[in-house]
Structure 1
Amino acid sequence: MIDLRRLQTLRAVHQHGTVTAAAASLHLTPSAVSHHLRELARELRLTLIEPQGRRIRLTPAAHLVIEHGDAMLARWEEAEAALDAYRDGTAGLLRMCGFPTALSGLLAPAAVRLRDSRPDLTVELSTCETDTGYDMLASTETDLALIAPTDDAAPPDESRFDQRPILEEPLDLLVPPGHPLAGRDGVSLTDAADESWIVPRPGTCDHYQRVLANCNAAGFSLRISQYYAMEWSSISTLVSNGFGIALMPRLAETPEQHAAVRVPLTRGLVPTRRIVSCVRRGSREQPLIQRGLRAVAAVLDARPDLRLSSPSGA
């Protein structure tokens, strides 16, 4: 390995003509300059300087070293600039993952903000469910995960992860067009107690348990229709065609061609889905991760619709 400081010393001797002048320009002693030259010659197994009267001159080999050394020093300067940009979070690779609606509703808009403000920053996005998000963080496949924790997820104080809530996302009623609850103000979950519900099959995803728990907490038993669906677009299709109603997270988009009506719940128990940012413990203050978190926060600030509506009654 060649010490770049010794290349700089050789370049200074070539530029100034003497060891003494080179030492003054480098703020070194002449003996330190001579030591660098000897060590460089030893590393390269070449003669680099020859006496010329009371001065010295560089050998042809030394000129070849300088030619290539200049290129090496230039590349190192470029590397240092890139590393400085990485340290302050203006460049580098930031990997983020999230469950599907977090990816589309939060991470993708955050990536657009980062791309527009920091073109030298590369953002990698991927979909993950709660359990795979933790696994991806632990295996360093991702740097930042947006997760909706479940009862069997890693506990908040898990030693490997730093988890912090960023959003209590409201769940809205999704009803067919012309439904009595469509367009009403001050709707509560108990207003839908006698409805048939479209849910995922038990055990297929977390949303089934979320709907069941909220209906139980509101004081009624969930009456499931004979229609099951797990994808939000499929649920919306079934609701649009009058096969039942559903609870849909605010981040989940209803396709424009669907006629289902989204009804915010503003009275009584308002179901929510907690979303947390999760990183490896100790990494939250890294500049790249901080930029990602700030971009997500900016997206949330621009989406007042994701906040809970003010209650209109008990």
Structure 2
Amino acid sequence: MIDLRRLLVLRVLAERGTVTAAAADLHVTPSAVSQQLRSLADELGVELLARSGRTVELTPAARSLLTHADDLGARWERARAEIASHGSALVGRLRLCGVSSAAAALLVPAAARLRDDHPRLDLHIRELESDDCFRQLLAHRADIALVLPAHSPPVDDPRFEQTVVFDDAQDLLVPEEHPLTRRDAVELADAATETWIVKPEHNDSYEVLVAACAAAGFTPRITHHLKEWFAVSAAVAHGFGVCLLPRMVPVPDHHRVVRIPLHGATRPTRVIIAATRRGGREHPLVAAGLDAVTAVAEELTGRPR
């Protein structure tokens, strides 16, 4: 009998590329990862890894096994969901992760609802970038992730299920006395000559900004690399540049800035996606978490999705 935990190690290794990175995601030692893969290879009677210099590569047999591993993973998730549905109360641990703005606006309020309605739930919230969220899902260290599509796998990826839960308009944030605050209607192209504030590295918001500006016909001149929204807003307030600010993100009252809704054909909007492991959405804990997130999103937009 093949141990499903060893298949999970293979799936994470295929995603991360190295034994060390896979071990970090799985919270085990690299030697434990290697031992699990050797045991799996012995069970199957084939070589799963080929050494290439100081790194390893998956053999054709390993890549063939991965297609079955993804299917078995989804089947196991559905089996767990069906078994758990026979319980009478929501008990257990539910792990939520997401990008910072979605964590603040959606995950935390949703978790508060779940805590009030199901006091026996053990809830855990974690702020991560989108690509990290998917790795945590795959490694079974998260159950629901709220992510942006820029770093999401294809929608037909056999490992995950993805559903849009929120459409988030992007506003232009400028200093209080900025000339654009005196216009009746502002388009993104009107800010083409501005200095922009965004951190390019390991930041989902960077891709959102670049894509929106490209659609508006220009490349943003980025000079200040800040990521946390409070710091970005402070920099805008002091005249260091402008930024795109998700509408779900509040502006501190003492920051002298103005949020300008954008008009025109290229009004930037991002979507928030709820992702789970494929086959796991019907698990009572996951379903309750998704329902809570959806309810909060509907309240934010004022309309059901």
Q: Which runs of 5+ in 2 are unaligned?
A: 1-82
SS at 1:251's partner residue?
coil
Using the alignment, how far apart are the partners of 1:306 and 1:97 within structure 2? 24
Tell whether the 8 Å contact from 1:176 to 1:239 is kept in structure 2 after alignment. Answer: yes
Q: What secondary structure is seen at the aligned counterpart in 1 of 2:180?
A: coil
Aligned-pair CA distance for 1:291 = 0.7
- Partner residue, 2:4: none
Query: Distance between the aligned counterparts of 1:207 and 1:84, measured in 2?
Result: 37
Q: Who is 1:283 aligned against? A: 280
After superposition, give the CA deviation of every residue in 1:165-205 in whole Å (9 maximum; x if it has no partner): 112211110000022222654321122223222222x3342
Equivalent residue runs for 1:89-104 within 5 Å: 90-104=90-104
Which residue identity lines up with residue 218 of structure 1 in the other structure? Answer: A
Q: Aligned partner of 2:174: which letter? A: V
Matches of 1:158 and 1:89 in 2, distance apart?
A: 32
**Alignment partner, residue 181 of structure 1:** 180
Aligned to 2:160: 161
Q: Which amino acid aligns with 1:262?
A: R
Residue 269 of structure 2 is aligned to residue 272 of structure 1: yes
CA change 1:84–1:208 in 2 (3 A) is closer
Counterparts of 2:146 and 2:165 in 1: how far apart (Å)? Answer: 9
- Quote the Cα distance in structure 2 between the aligned partners of 1:223 and 1:103: 29
Q: Would you say the 8 A contact 1:85–1:91 is kept in 2?
A: no
Greater relative contact order (Cα 8 A, min sep 6): structure 1 or 2?
2
Instruction: Name the TM-score, length of structure 2 as normaliser.
Output: 0.67
- Pair member with larger Rg: 1
Q: What is the aligned-residue RMSD (CA, Å)?
A: 2.3
One-letter amino acid of the counterpart of residue 135, structure 2: D
- Amino acid in structure 2 at the alignment position of 1:298: A
Alignment of 1:218 with 2:216, yes or no, is yes
Instruction: Report matched runs for 1:1-314 at 5 Å.
Output: 87-88=87-88, 90-150=90-150, 152-182=151-181, 184-200=183-199, 202-224=200-222, 226-304=223-301
Question: Take 1:179 and 1:88, find their aligned partners in 2: how far apart are those partners?
Answer: 58
Identity %: 41
| 1:54-95 deviations in Å (ceiling 9; x for gaps) | xxxxxxxxxxxxxxxxxxxxxxxxxxxxx9898355332211
| Structure 1 length-normalised TM | 0.65
What is the SS of the residue equivalent to 1:146? strand
Q: Flag structure 1 segments of 5+ consecutive residues without an equivalent.
A: 1-82, 308-314
Compute the displacement of 1:289 (Å): 0.9
Q: Give the match's secondary structure for 2:94.
A: strand
Which amino acid in structure 2 is aligned with residue 161 of structure 1? F
Letter in 1 for 2:170: L
